[in-house]
Amino acid sequence: MLKIDLLLRNSNFTLSVLRKSEEEANALFEKLMAAMNAEKIQLLKLTCVRLCRMPEAYRHTKTKIAILSNEIIAINLTEN
């Protein structure tokens, strides 16, 4: 699993999404970089699906994030 952390302008915390493969993570990283460099502000919609352990069983949780591209000031890609 690879984790992509987004640091937002005027915020004390990061937003994170996970990707299973290096290819998916690198593609998302490049997409975010391109959006940051674009002159036009874009609304970026990101989804992360994780397997969470619940008391009775395992289940998938889905998280959705929407961010304006001009609010991203840093991106960090790491192995999780």
Query: What does pTM read for this prediction?
Result: 0.81
Confidence of residue 56 (pLDDT cuts 50, 70, 90): low
Residue 29, judged by CB atoms within 10 A of its CB (0-12, 13-18, 19+), counts as: middle
Structural domain containing residue 31:
2-79
**Dist CA 10 CA 13 (whole Å):** 9
Domains held by the chain: number: 1
Q: How does pLDDT run across 16-49, given as a tens digit for each residue?
A: 888 989 999 999 999 999 999 999 999 999 988 7
